[in-house]
């Protein structure tokens, strides 16, 4: 996180200490505090969507349940497991940095990214399935004669199911976009780790990158039951 024109100020200090911070601790605190604030913004960003989702789910519960049943919960569940594992590898990478285990740190960063890619791949399969089934909202959308779970003989209103799928694609799509951004961040972290930037004393970028990654995971932890598991138990 250093800028060559201003870092010169640092004199004998850690080269990663930026000129306008008095101490490394201040810089570390500022960085992680900044990430927490940013996550506050992200909560509100997804919050608007969750709010819209919950309102329509309340109104059109049966239609949402029917639409939810058509998406593949097994793939969604796998993705949940993948993301939980990736959070673990992030934590391990940070621990490795703290304890000077360079090889482990690099391996865990690579593993995290592989999990991230696996998530996106599985997501892609799900999207393809929806596309094939004409469940993508738009002119070719079709959701006729889909029964509402536990209401035999009752069919979901396609218009309402379309709202579910619209929200499904926007919410998971934005989440996937966050994953892509996360992969970008982790590519940079991997590069920096490879260059030996991170030491037990200084690994703030790993920590705040990890915060971001955990947040994206947590969003998924909410998305999965809300989108995939409506009324599944019956």
Partner 1 sequence: MATAITQPDAQPIERENYLNKHYGVWSWLLTTDHKRIALLYLMSITFFFFIGGFFALLIRLELLTPTGDLVQADTYNKLFTQHGQVMVFFFLIPSIPAVLGNFLVPMMVGAKDLAFPRINLLSWYLYIIGGIMMLHCMLTGGVDTGWTFYVPFSTAFSNTKVIEAGLAIFVVGFSSILTGLNFIVTIHRMRAPGMTWGRLPLFIWAHYATSVIQILGTPVIAITLVLVVAERALHLGIFDPKLGGDPLLFQHLFWFYSHPAVYIMILPSMGVVTEIIACFSRKRIFGYHFVALSSIAIAVFGFLVWAHHMFVAGISIYAALVFSILSYAVAVPSAVKVFNWTATLYKGSIHYDAPMLYAFGFLGLFTIGGLTGLFLACLGVDMHVHDTYFVIAHFHYIMVGGAVMGYLGGMHFWWPKISGKLYPEGWARLAALIVFIGFNLTFFPQFLLGYMGMPRRYFQYPAEFQVLNVLSTAGATVLGVGYLLPMIYFLWSMRYGKPAPDNPWNAAGLEWKTASPPPTFNFDEEPVVTWEAYNYDELDSEHKQEVPVVG
Partner 2 sequence: MFDNFPLWPQRASTMAGNVDALYIFLIIVCGLMTLLVFTAVIYFAARYRYRQGVPAEQIEGSIPLEVTWSVIPLGVFMVIFLWGAVVFFQSRTPPRDATEVYVVAKQWMWKLEHAEGQREINELHVPVGRDVKLIMTSQDVIHSFFVPAFRMKQDVVPGRYTVAWFRATKPGTYHLFCTQYCGTQHSGMIGDVVVMEPAQYEAWMSGAPTGPLSAAGEKIFAELGCATCHRSDGTGRGPNLHGVFGKPVALEDGRTVTADENYLRECILTPGDKRVKGFQPIMPPFQGLVSEEQVNALVAYVKSLSPSTQPGAATTSAAVVAPQASGKASPKATEGSQGN
**C-alpha of 157 from chain center:** 31
Residue entry with tokens 């004669």 = 145
List the single partner that 121 binds among partner 2, partner 1, none, CB under 5 to 8 Å by kind: none
Q: Looking at 33, 95, 131, 191, which residue binds partner 1 (CB under 8 A)?
A: 33
Are 96 and 102 contacting, i.e. CB atoms less than 8 angstroms apart?
yes
- Separation of alpha carbons 60 and 164, rounded Å: 9
Beta strands in 92-178 (DSSP E): 147-148, 151-155
Q: Looking at 72, 78, 98, 157, which residue binds partner 1 (CB under 8 A)?
A: 157
Are 82 and 115 contacting, i.e. CB atoms less than 8 angstroms apart?
yes
List the single partner that 139 binds among partner 1, partner 2, none, CB under 5 to 8 Å by kind: partner 1
- Separation of alpha carbons 100 and 48, rounded Å: 42
Shortest CA distance to 97 belongs to which of 2, 27, 197, 185? 197
Query: Residues 135 to 154: which contact partner 2 by CB under 8 A?
Result: 151, 153-154
Could you tell me how many residues make up the chain? 234
Using the rule CB under 8 A, give the single segment among 68-76, 107-115, 152-160, 206-214 that binds partner 1.
Answer: 152-160
* Closer to partner 1 by Cβ: residue 96 or 227: 227
Using the rule CB under 8 A, give the single segment among 52-60, 92-100, 181-189, 225-233 that binds partner 1.
Answer: 52-60
By CB under 8 A, residue 107 contacts partner 1: no
Binding site for partner 1 (CB under 8 A): 3, 5-6, 8-9, 11, 18-22, 26, 29-30, 33-34, 37-38, 40-42, 44-49, 51-52, 55-56, 60, 137-139, 157, 159-160, 162-163, 166-167, 170, 174
């Amino acid at each position: 996180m250093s800028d060559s024109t201003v870092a010169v100020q640092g004199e004998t200090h850690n080269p990663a200490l930026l000129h306008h911070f008095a101490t490394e601790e201040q810089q570390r605190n500022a960085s992680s505090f900044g990430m927490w604030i940013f996550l506050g913004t992200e909560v509100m960003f997804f919050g608007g969507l969750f709010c819209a989702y919950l309102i329509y789910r309340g109104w059109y519960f049966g239609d949402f349940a029917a639409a939810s049943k058509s998406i593949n919960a097994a793939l969604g569940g796998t993705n949940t497991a993948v993301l939980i594992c990736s959070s673990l590898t992030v934590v391990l990478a940070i621990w490795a940095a703290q304890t000077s285990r360079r090889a482990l740190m690099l391996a865990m960063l690579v593993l995290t990214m592989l999990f991230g890619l696996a998530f996106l791949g599985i997501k892609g399969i799900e999207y393809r399935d929806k596309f094939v089934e004409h469940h993508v909202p738009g002119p070719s959308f079709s959701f006729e004669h889909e029964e509402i779970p536990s209401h035999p003989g009752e069919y979901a209103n396609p218009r309402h199911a379309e709202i579910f799928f619209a929200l499904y694609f926007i919410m998971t799509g934005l989440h996937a976009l966050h994953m892509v951004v996360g992969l970008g961040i982790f590519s940079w972290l991997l590069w920096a780790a490879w260059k030996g930037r991170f030491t037990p004393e200084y690994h703030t970028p790993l920590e705040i990158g990890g915060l971001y990654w955990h947040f994206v995971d947590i969003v998924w932890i909410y998305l999965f039951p809300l989108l995939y598991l409506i009324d599944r138990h019956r």
